[in-house]
Amino acid sequence: MNAIAKITDADRLGSLLDGQRAAFMHDAAPSLAQRRADLAKFRVTIIGRRKAIEDAINADSDIDASAIGIPFPMTTRSIST
């Protein structure tokens, strides 16, 4: 019998969820200020990678993302409103 344990996707998912659960139990829910700061960082990241995202959409479908004007989240609207 093979002595090497086979790691399954379910095992990896279980480990990931255990880590998320532990992080949540340690820090609980973030404050409103922290959530807004996290969203601001997310916005900068998404806008900074707009071309790569459009290219991925174009490669994955028959849609030309730049031609149909897919809106990117919060490009003009403030997060605090």
pLDDT of residue 51: 87
pTM score of the predicted model: 0.48
CA distance 81 to 79: 6
pLDDT of residue 72: 56
Rg (the chain; Cα; Å): 20
- pLDDT digits (tens), the chain, 81 positions: 455 667 688 888 889 999 999 988 888 888 999 999 999 999 999 989 988 888 888 788 777 766 666 565 544 444 554
Give the model's pLDDT for residue 10: 83
Per DSSP, the residues of 14-76 read HHHHHHHHHHHHHH-SPPHHHHHHHHHHHHHHHHHTHHHHHHHHHHHSS--HHHHTPPPTTSS
pLDDT of 4 reads 63
